[in-house]
Structure 1
Amino acid sequence: MTGVTLKKVVKRYGDVQVIHGIDLEVKDGEFCVFVGPSGCGKSTLLRMVAGLEETSGGSIQIGSRDVTEADPSERGVAMVFQTYALYPHMTVAENMGFGLKMTGHPKAAIDKKVAEASRILKLDEYLSRKPKALSGGQRQRVAIGRAIVRGPEVFLFDEPLSNLDAELRVEMRVEIARLHREIGATMIYVTHDQVEAMTLADKIVVLRKGRVEQVGKPLDLYNDPDNKFVAGFIGSPAMNFVAGTVAGPGSVTTKGLGGAVATSVALPGAGAEVSVGLRPQHLKITAGSDYRVEMTEALGGVSFVHVTAPTGEKLVIESHDQVGVGMGDKVGITFDAKDAMVFGADGMRLR
């Protein structure tokens, strides 16, 4: 197995630039997830690694090889798409081995590789079935098996779970994580779902508008975001943000949180506009009447209470108690100031 290195990678479509000089190293055996909103360039970047999109500038290396101009078949990668693209008239075994058959591999070698892939993916009992007799999750496992059989240096996944229902998505997340542990391959995975990113990744790359916002381990991005975009994107429910004004050294005034917030970060001058961010679990419901409850999502072990502040700003409060409040109720909130993050007018985190 081997790693992937991007150096100043650029992609243009005519006069429109969609990838802006990305530098990135995915280490050998690492599970790297590209995450971001629709249109951020994550699938385009993955397709450039695969060779399905030409690179307009910069270079792409797989291991020690510069593959920037190489044909997709020469890059040593296998790609799994959100659509299964299985041949309906072939059995599972035939679908998995078809690529090797087309490249002239002997039948005994193909059968051996198919058997090993089916063992890893627990597909042994389905090898003689055709795709129409399989569930969505089983079909996606066959598509992954087809990639395994090829023996690639790098696996590329382009939103492979987006066509599955919620229960199957969870099941397949577990399967893909187990697959990575078992075969130890370098994997790059694209998703818009930050829950998938947090649960699967060794490293997350947060993208926005063709640029890298931050790279790091899942909990590092969650606990120590560089900017307001990453803070709001990583975490479910998303971080709450309210407008604030610097009152002086160590103090931010914010009407949405009921007054002054003490902070130890370096603040701009008095009167500067900032944003204060708090995770939903850091807000607590108290007696009071300043916040109107818009909705309560009571999920049993956890509840999410959506409230409107006096300023009109929307907040979500996470509670592991059964809160007993509903639409139209009035409540107060409290929090520990040490949990608050402060962001400047440019969106960058103040530290």
Structure 2
Amino acid sequence: MTGVTLDKVVKRYGDVQVIHGVDLKIEDGEFCVFVGPSGCGKSTLMRMIAGLEETTEGRIHIGKRDVTNMDPAERGVAMVFQTYALYPHMTVEDNMGFGLKMNGHPKDEIKSKVAEASRILKLDPFLKRKPAALSGGQRQRVAIGRAIVRGPEVFLFDEPLSNLDAELRVEMRVEIARLHNDIGATMIYVTHDQVEAMTLADKIVVLRLGRIEQIGAPLDLYRDPDNKFVAGFIGSPSMNFLNATVTADGEVEIPAMKTTIAVPIDLPAAGTDVIFGIRPEHIEVIEGDDMAIELTEALGGVSYDYIQADTGERMIVEERGDHRSAPGSRVSLGFDPARAYLFDAETEARIR
């Protein structure tokens, strides 16, 4: 197996530039997830690695090979798409081995590789079935098996779980994680679902408008975001953001929460507008009359309160335990200032 390096990679469609000088190094055997909202360039970047999109500028290396201008078949990658793209008239066994058959591999070799992929993905009971007789999760496993039998240097997954229902998504996340542990291959995975990113990745690459916003391990991005975009995108529910102002005393006034806090960082000048951030799980509902609970989502062991401040700003607060706040009631909120994040109101960069 081998790693992938992108060196100042650019993609243009005519006069429109969609990937802006991306530099990235993915280590051998690493599970790297590209995550971001629709239109951020994550699928385009993956297709450039696969050779399905031409690279306008920059270089792409897979291992020690410069593959920038190579055909997709020469790059040593296998791609699993959002759509399963299985041949409906072929059995599972034939679907997985078809690529090898077309490339002239011996029958015994094809059978051996299909058997190994089937063992890894627990597809043995379904080898003689056709796709119509399979569930969505089983079809996706067949598509992954078709990639495994090729023995690629790098696996590419382009939103492979987006067509599955919630229960199957969880099941397939576990299957893909197990697959990575079993074969140790370099894997690049594209998703807009930050839960998938957090649970699968060794390294997350957060993209916005064709640029990398931040790279890091899942918990590093969660605990130490570089800017408001990353802070809001990583974590579910999203981080709360409120307008705030630096006071003459060197503290931060948060009108929505009717409080002023001291934070142990170097603040900008008095009167500067900033953005205060706090995660739902780091807030406590306390007795008071500062804001109104509009709606409560009770999910069993946890519930989420949707709260509107008198300023019109809204927040989400997580509650655990037996007590649940009632919709329509008025409350106050408490939190540890050490859990607070501050961002520049203009650039949205983190103030540290």
Matches of residues 195-206 of structure 1 in structure 2 within 5 Å? 195-206=195-206
SS in 2 for 1:82: coil
**2:348 maps to 1:347:** yes
Aligned to 1:134: 134
Cα distance, 1:256 vs structure 2: 1.3
SS in 2 for 1:267: coil
Q: Per-residue CA shift, 1:25-60, capped at 9, x if unaligned?
A: 000000000000000000000000000000000000
Q: Per-residue CA shift, 1:311-345, capped at 9, x if unaligned?
A: 11110111112333232111111111111011112
Q: TM-score, normalising length from structure 2? A: 0.99
Matches of residues 88-103 of structure 1 in structure 2 within 5 Å? 88-103=88-103
Q: Distance in 2 between matches of 1:238 and 1:289?
A: 24
Cα distance, 1:248 vs structure 2: 3.6
- Paired residues of 1:300 and 1:322 also in contact (CA < 8 A): no
SS in 2 for 1:94: helix
Cα distance, 1:16 vs structure 2: 0.3
Q: Pick closer, same or farther for the CA change 1:247–1:156 going to 2, 3 Å.
A: same
Aligned to 2:62: 62
SS in 2 for 1:275: strand
Aligned to 1:15: 15
Q: Distance in 2 between matches of 1:232 and 1:25?
A: 25
Q: Which amino acid in 2 is paired with 1:194?
A: Q
Aligned to 2:271: 271
Matches of residues 1-351 of structure 1 in structure 2 within 5 Å? 1-248=1-248, 250-345=250-345, 346-351=347-352
- Paired residues of 2:250 and 2:270 also in contact (CA < 8 A): no
Q: Distance in 1 between matches of 2:175 and 2:248?
A: 52
- Paired residues of 2:206 and 2:214 also in contact (CA < 8 A): yes
Q: Distance in 2 between matches of 1:324 and 1:55?
A: 54
- Paired residues of 1:298 and 1:322 also in contact (CA < 8 A): no
- Paired residues of 2:101 and 2:110 also in contact (CA < 8 A): yes
Between 236-245 and 254-263, the greater mean CA deviation after superposition: 254-263
Between 264-273 and 62-71, the greater mean CA deviation after superposition: 264-273
Q: Distance in 2 between matches of 1:322 and 1:270?
A: 42
Between 312-321 and 102-111, the greater mean CA deviation after superposition: 312-321
Q: Which amino acid in 1 is paired with 2:36?
A: G
Cα distance, 1:250 vs structure 2: 4.0
SS in 2 for 1:270: coil
Number of residues paired by the alignment? 351
- Paired residues of 1:274 and 1:342 also in contact (CA < 8 A): yes
Q: Which amino acid in 2 is paired with 1:63?
A: G
Q: Distance in 1 between matches of 2:161 and 2:15?
A: 33
Q: Distance in 2 between matches of 1:106 and 1:326?
A: 68
Q: Per-residue CA shift, 1:275-326, capped at 9, x if unaligned?
A: 0100101110011122111111111111111100111111011111233323
Q: Distance in 1 between matches of 2:296 and 2:342?
A: 27
Q: Which amino acid in 2 is paired with 1:347?
A: E
Q: Distance in 2 between matches of 1:98 and 1:152?
A: 15
Q: Distance in 2 between matches of 1:245 and 1:60?
A: 45
- Paired residues of 1:290 and 1:309 also in contact (CA < 8 A): yes
Residue identity over aligned pairs, in percent, reads 70
Q: Distance in 2 between matches of 1:293 and 1:105?
A: 65
Q: Per-residue CA shift, 1:96-116, capped at 9, x if unaligned?
A: 000000000011000000000
Q: Distance in 2 between matches of 1:175 and 1:91?
A: 22
4+ runs of 1 displaced by more than 3 Å? none
Q: Distance in 1 between matches of 2:131 and 2:101?
A: 19
Q: Distance in 2 between matches of 1:146 and 1:15?
A: 37
SS in 2 for 1:349: coil
- Paired residues of 1:18 and 1:209 also in contact (CA < 8 A): yes
SS in 2 for 1:157: strand
- Paired residues of 2:257 and 2:290 also in contact (CA < 8 A): no
Q: Per-residue CA shift, 1:210-246, capped at 9, x if unaligned?
A: 0000000000000000000000000000000100011
- Paired residues of 1:26 and 1:32 also in contact (CA < 8 A): yes
SS in 1 for 2:105: coil
- Paired residues of 2:257 and 2:332 also in contact (CA < 8 A): no
Q: Per-residue CA shift, 1:156-198, capped at 9, x if unaligned?
A: 0000000000000000000000000000000000000000000
